Structure 1
Amino acid sequence: MPRQERAPDAGCQRVVLFPLPYESHLSPMLQLAALLHARGLDVTVLHTDFNAPDPARHPDLTFVSIRESLPEEAVEADIIAQLLALNAACEAPFRDALASLQPGVACAIVDGEWYAALGAAAKVGVPALALMTESAATSRNILAFPRLRDAGYEYDTSKDEQQLDELVPRLEPLRVRDLIRVDGWEADGLRGLIVLMADAMRSAASGVILNTFDAIEASELEKIQAELSQPTFAVGPLHRVSPAMSAAERSFLHVPDRSCLAWLDAQPPRSVLYVSLGSMARVDRVVFDEMAWGLAHSSVPFLLVARPGLANGINDAPPPLPEGLTDVVGIGNNNAARGKVVTWAPQKDVLAHPAIGGFWTHCGWNSTLESICEGVPMLAQPCLGDQTVSARYITHQWGVALELGEVFDRVRVAEAARKLMVGEEGSPSKGEGWQAEN
C-alpha cells in the first residue's frame, strides 16, 4: 500500500529525534520518525558517527551528525562501558547540535538510554520525551531499581536457587533471576547505568513514550503512570502502525539476505523454525555448536541467522557450522534442503511468511512484538539486559512461548524444537488470536 502523507504546513515546527546507535534502538526510533513525518511534521534525526544510519535509505527524513569524539577504547568496550562512554562523549555535541536548530524545535524525542542527552535538552530549553525501546514491564524494572537495590533484590550470582526463584514484590511475575542483568560484565557499571536512566526518566523527561500497546501491557502501563508525574504514551507496536517501509529502509546496520524468502516459499505452511538471537547477543562457540547440532537432530526445518560476531572470539565473520553438520541435515537454497543459514534475515517478512511455524528468539523487545503480532509461538533463550524480563512475560504471563531452559545441549535443543513445532504447545495456529489490533 502506498504511503499516505500530508505535506508539512509552512509553519510546522520541527521534531528532533536522537536514537541510540544500535540496531534494536535505531529500528523503533526511525519507525517513529516515519510515523511523525506521515502526520505532517518536519523531522530531523540527530545521530552519532558511531554506527551511523544511512540517510540514503530514509529519503523523507533529515539527518544531522552530532560529530562526537568517542574514545577509541570505548569502541571495543563491553556494552555497559560503551553506553556510559557514549553518554559522556555525546552530551555536549548533542546539546550544541540541538541548540543550532533553534528556534523552531517543538520537542526532542531521545532514546531512554541517552540519560545525558535528556538533561542536555533541558539546558537548551527544549522539552524532551524519552522513547523506551524496551517493554513497559522492563521500564517498570528500571524505575524500581533504586528500591530493589536498597531492599536487596538485585540479581546476584552468589544467591542460591531458592533466592533467585523468589518473586520480586510489586514486580510480579518477575523473579529475582528475571531482573535486568548482563552476565559477565561489571556489575557496578550496570547498576550505575540503570540508576542514571531511572533518574533521567523521572526528572529530565517531559514525558515517556513506550513501544507497546494496551492489549498486552495495560497493567504495566498503569503502574508506570502511577510512578511518574509526567505523561506516558503507548504508541506501539511501531512496526505495525508506522508507514510501510521499503526493504532498504528497514535495513539499519545489517543488510538482510532476502534469498531466504524464496527458500521459505518452497516449504510447507508452519513447518520452519526461524532462529535468530538478534543484533547484539553473543554466545560461546560451544553453545552455537550445540544449537546447530540440536537443530540438525530435531528433524525440524530451520532458518538460522548466524551473523558476524554471534560467537565469542569470531568478531568479523559468521561462526562456521560444525564440521559434518551440512552432510547430516542438508543446507542451501534447493527445495530439498532442510536448513538454510544466512548472516542476517529480513525478520519482519520472515515472521509474516506462512512457512514459519515458530521463532527461537533472544527475547529482544522488537522481536517479541513482531512475533506476537504475527501469531508466531516462541522458544525463549534470553541472553542479556531486558531479555530475561520479556522471556518471563511471554512464557508465564502471556503464554505465547516455551522456555528453552538452563541446561543447554543438543538433546535439549532438539526436544524443545520438536515440542514447539509439532506438540500442542505450538498452538494456537499462527495468526489466530494473537494479532495486535491496528
Structure 2
Amino acid sequence: MTVERKQCVVLVPYPFQGHLTPMLQLGSILCSQGFSVKVAHTKYNAPNYSNHLEFVFHSMDDGLQGIDMSFPSLENIYCMNENCKAPLRNYLVGMMEQEKDMQGDQLACIIYDNVMFFVDDVAVQLRLPSIVLRTFSAAYLHSMITILQQPEKYFPFEDSQLLDPLPELHPLRFKDVPFSVVNNTVPEPILDFCRVMIDTGSSVATVCNTMQDLENSLLLRLQEHYKVPFFPIGPLHKMAPMTLSTSILEEDNSCIEWLDRQAPNSVLYVSLGSLARIDDTELIETAWGLANSDQPFLWVIRPGSVSGFQCAEALPDYYEKMVGERGRIVKWAPQKQVLAHPAVAGFFTHCGWNSTLEAILEEVPLLCRPILGDQPVNARYLSQIYKVGFELEVFERTIIEKTVRKLMLSEEGKDLKKRIIDMKQSIVAGMQTDGTSHKNLNDLVDFISALPSRLAPPTPVVGTVMSSSHIASKCIIES
C-alpha cells in the first residue's frame, strides 16, 4: 500500500506572543491548503501542543535556560539565533534523509519569522528554499527601510523636533520613529539589528499579515525594494480555519461571564499587550482615569507589565472595592473573544499589529497608547490616516478620563465607529473568494507547490548588511 506523500512546510517562529500567534495561524492556513506543517520552536515559550494537533512540533535547544527573557535584550536575541542553528540544521538534515528514503513528506520550504534570521544561514547551507514571515504592517516595514537608507538624515534630532514630521514618512513625526531611541538618537547596535531583521537574505518570497486593500501603495514600494514576491494574505486570524488558542499565558475566561452582565456597547477593554511595560506612576494615573470616567472597564494587568511589581499590587488596596462591579481586573484575557463580545465598545491598546487587526475586524474603535517597536507607527496611522482611533499622548488621569469619555460617549467616538465598520467591510471583501487576500493565498500555495526541492548553490554577494554569523561573534553565551 502506497502512502500519499504531502509537501511539508517547516515553520520557525520567534518565541513571543505577537510573533508566535501569526506564525501558528499561518500554519493552520497552510494545513487547510493540503500541506503538512512542522513547527521548529525554541524551548523558551514553547507553544501548547494540545491546542494544535494538526502540527508536528520539534523543540530546539535555545541555550536560554536561566536567562530572563521577559524583555529580551539584543544580546539574548543574537545568542538565541546562534544557539538554534545546529539544532535546526540537524532536524532538517534528518528530514531530508527520510525524504530520500521515501519515508517522509517532501520538504517544500522553511518559513521563518524575520527575527529568527539564523534560518537564512541554515537554508543556504542545505540549499533549501526559505520564505520570510513579517508579522507587522507594511507601514512599519517601509518606515524602517526608509530611515535605514539614510539614518544620518534623521538622527540625532532635537527635543524641539519631536512633533515635527519625519521627512518622506507622512504621517509620522520624530516621536514616532520605529526604533529604540536613546538621547534622541539610535545606538548603532540597534541599527545593525534592524538591518539584519529587514533583510530577506536568500529567501525567495515574503508573507505579510496585512491586506492589499489596506496598504496597497506601501506594499508596491516594498515589492520594488525587495525584488521578491510579497504575499499579503491577512488578516491571518480570520483567514485561519482553526480557532484554538495560541496564547502563551493562561487566559482568565471568567471575564467573559462578567462581560455577559454588562450592557451592550458599554465596556472599555484595556490591555497593553504581551511584552510592553509601564511604570507604577502610569498605572496609578490610568487607574484613576478609568475610575473617574464612570465607564465600565475590563483591564488586563499582565504579571511583569508594571516595572518593579509582579502584577496589580501597585494599585491602592481599596481600588477594586471602590470601582466595584463596574471594573474587572484580570492577569490575561481571551482577547479575540473579548473584542467580539457585544458589551465591548472600545479598546485602550498598545497598538500591536495583532491587536490592531483583531479590533478592526470586530469593529471596536481604539484608544491608542503605543509603547515600543511598531506600535507608534500603527497608532499614528490609526489616528491620522484611517481615523479609527484617538491617540493618548499625555498619561495623566484627567487626560485619560477625558479621552475615554470621548471614545465611549462623544459624537467623535461615533464617527470612529462608522469608519471602522467601513474599514472592516473592505477587509472582509478581500477575504472572499474573489478578494485580494484570498487570491494572494492561492498564489502563495501555487508558489510553494512549484518551488524546486533544492536550490542552486548561492552566488557570493558582497554587501553592507551584517550576517547573523558575523553578529553572533558578539554573543557571550556558548552555543
Q: Same fold (TM over 0.5)?
A: yes
| Structure 2 letter corresponding to 1:415 | K
Tell me which of 51, 61, 68 is aligned to 2:55: 61
Q: Look up the match of 2:86.
A: 92
Contact 1:273–1:357 (CA under 8 A) maintained in structure 2: yes
Of the three residues 340, 349, 366, the one matched with 1:361 is: 349
SS in 1 for 2:373: coil
Structure 2 counterpart of 1:344, one-letter code:
W
Deviates more, 1:423-432 or 1:235-244: 423-432
Return the letter of the residue paired with 2:49.
P
**In the alignment, which residue of structure 2 is the partner of 1:49?**
43
1:84-107 Cα offsets, whole Å, 9 max, x none, are 222222233222222222142100
Q: Residue 71 of structure 1: CA displacement? A: 6.5
Tell me the amino acid that sits aligned with residue 236 of structure 1: G
Structure 1 stretches of 5 or more lacking a match? 1-8, 331-336
Paired residue total: 413
The structure 1 residue matched to 2:411, chosen from 414, 419, 424, is: 424
Match of 2:406, as an amino acid?
K
> Which residue type is aligned with residue 405 of structure 2?
R
Q: Which amino acid aligns with 2:238?
A: R
Aligned to 2:126: 124
Note the 1:102-117 alignment, pairs <5 A: 102=96, 103=99, 104-117=106-119
For residue 329 of structure 1, give the secondary structure of its aligned residue in structure 2. Answer: helix
SS in 2 for 1:427: helix
Structure 1 residue 72: deviation in Å? 4.1
Query: 1:141 deviation in Å?
Result: 2.4
Match of residue 235 from structure 2: 237
Query: Residues 343 and 62 (structure 1 numbering): CA distance in 2 closer, same or farther, change over 3 Å?
Result: same
Residue 419 and residue 76 in structure 1: after superposition, are their counterparts in 2 closer, same or farther (change >3 A)? closer
Structure with the greater relative contact order (CA < 8 A, sep ≥ 6): 1 or 2?
2
Q: TM-score, normalization: structure 1?
A: 0.89
Deviation of the 1:266 alpha carbon: 1.4
CA, structure 1 residues 141+84, in 2 after alignment: closer, same or farther (shift >3 Å)?
A: farther
Match of 2:392 among 389, 398, 404: 404
* Separation (CA, whole Å) in 2 of partners of 1:83 and 1:423: 44
In 2, Cα distance between equivalents of 1:399 and 1:140 = 20
**Number of the residue aligned with 1:4:** none
- Supply the AA of the counterpart residue of 2:378: S
Take 1:189 and 1:173, find their aligned partners in 2: how far apart are those partners? Answer: 27
Match of 1:160 in 2: 159
Deviation at 1:204, TM superposition (A): 2.4
Structure 1 residue aligned with 2:436: none
Aligned pair partner of 1:380 in 359, 368, 371: 368
Distance in 1 (alpha carbons) for counterparts of 2:386 and 2:392: 16
TM-score, with length taken from structure 2: 0.82
Quote the offset at 1:38 in angstroms.
1.1
Can you list the C-alpha shifts for 1:60-90, whole angstroms capped at 9, x where unaligned? 1100112232364464664433322222222
2:263 aligns with one of 255, 265, 268: 268
Is the alpha carbon distance of 1:180 and 1:256 closer, same or farther for their aligned partners in structure 2, counting shifts above 3 Å?
same
Partners of 2:316 and 2:216 in 1: how far apart?
Answer: 45
Identity of aligned residues (%): 39
* Structure 1 contact 15–109 (Cα < 8 Å) conserved: yes
Secondary structure of 2:264's partner? coil
List aligned pairs for 1:64-213, cutoff 5 A.
Answer: 64-70=58-64, 72-73=66-67, 75=69, 78-102=72-96, 103=99, 104-149=106-151, 151-154=152-155, 156=156, 159-162=158-161, 164-182=162-180, 187-199=187-199, 201=200, 203-213=201-211
CA distance in 1, matches of 2:338, 2:305: 20
User: CA–CA distance in 2 between the matches of 1:408 and 1:318?
Assistant: 18
Letter in 2 for 1:40: G
2:283 corresponds to 1:254: no
Distance in 1 (CA, whole Å) between partners of 2:89 and 2:145 is 25
Q: Following the alignment from structure 1 to structure 2, what is the Cα–Cα distance between the partners of residues 372 and 281? A: 21
- In the alignment, the residues of structure 2 paired with residue 130 and residue 66 of structure 1 have an alpha-carbon distance, to the nearest angstrom, of 19
State the match for 2:309 in structure 1.
314
Q: Which amino acid aligns with 1:313?
A: G
Q: Equivalents in 2 of 1:89, 1:353: separation in Å?
A: 42
Displacement of 1:177: 1.8
The equivalent of 1:6 in structure 2 is none
CA shift, 1:318, in A, is 4.3
**Per the alignment, in what secondary structure is the counterpart of residue 421 of structure 1?**
helix
2:429 corresponds to 1:434: no
Within the candidate set 379, 382, 386, 1:391 is matched to 379
Kindly tell me: are residues 76 and 221 of structure 1, through their superposed partners in 2, closer, same or farther at Cα, counting changes over 3 Å? closer
Distance 1:77 1:307, change over 3 A: closer
Q: Deviations over 1:328-348 (max 9, x none)?
A: 311xxxxxx101111111111
Q: Residue 234 of structure 2 aligns to which amino acid in structure 1? A: G
Contact 2:179 2:373 in 1 (8 A): yes
Residue aligning to 2:455: none
Which residue is 1:294 aligned to?
289
Instruction: Return the alpha-carbon distance in structure 2 between the equivalents of residues 25 and 318 of structure 1.
Output: 26
Matched, 1:224 2:219: no
User: 3-state SS of the aligned residue for 1:21?
Assistant: coil
In the TM superposition, residue 54 of structure 1 has moved relative to its aligned partner by 1.6
Q: 1:280 aligns with which of 275, 278, 291?
A: 275
What CA deviation, in whole Å up to 9, does each residue of 1:96-141 have, x standing for no partner?
2222221421001000111221232122111111100111111112
Superposition deviation, residue 283 in structure 1 = 0.4
Q: CA deviation at 1:55?
A: 1.0
